[in-house]
Structure 1
Amino acid sequence: MTARQPQATQDSVLVSLAVAAENLGVSVKTLRRRISDGTVHGYRVGRLIRVDLDEVRKALVVEIPTVR
């Protein structure tokens, strides 16, 4: 029995952890932790791990409300 893995859609952009980390200003270690805790899905391509840049952005970037 195999675990069901999330499927990346055709219009998603899968990038390396280093590229995603640099793009968002976080460390690769942070992205690995978020994959481990289930906040972000990681996709294995051969031996490499890729993430959907839009998914990571939605999961990690949180708007801070203002008081106005």
Structure 2
Amino acid sequence: MTTDAPWLATLTEAGDRYKCSSRTLRRMIARDELTAYRVGPKLIRIDIREADRIFTATADDER
């Protein structure tokens, strides 16, 4: 059985994983390059699988 539910991570966890700051991730969210999920009034999470696709894209994918 497979599920398409997002695998959520904090901005700090994702920043550590991709060697970028949480501020960079927030800018990507603001530009609609990355989907964010609000969990409660202040907590923001991102789907790691979506971020993997963005951060591992090759130059050929962007053309």
> Normalising TM by the smaller chain, what interval?
0.7 to 0.9
Structure 2: unaligned runs, 5 residues or longer:
none
Match of 2:8 in 1: 14
Deviant stretches of 4+, over 3 Å:
none
**TM-score, scaled relative to structure 1:** 0.73
Gaps of 5+ in 1: 1-8
More helix by share: 2
Structural RMSD (CA): 1.4
Alignment of 1:16-55 (within 5 A): 16-46=10-40, 47-55=42-50
Identity %: 32
1:62 CA drift (Å):
2.5
> In the TM superposition, what is the alpha-carbon distance from 1:55 to its structure 2 partner?
0.4
* 2:34 match: secondary structure: coil
User: Which has the greater radius of gyration?
Assistant: 1
Q: Under a length normalisation based on structure 2, what TM-score does the superposition of the two structures give?
A: 0.78
d(CA) in 1 for partners of 2:8, 2:56: 18
Distance in 2 separating the partners of 1:31 and 1:52: 12
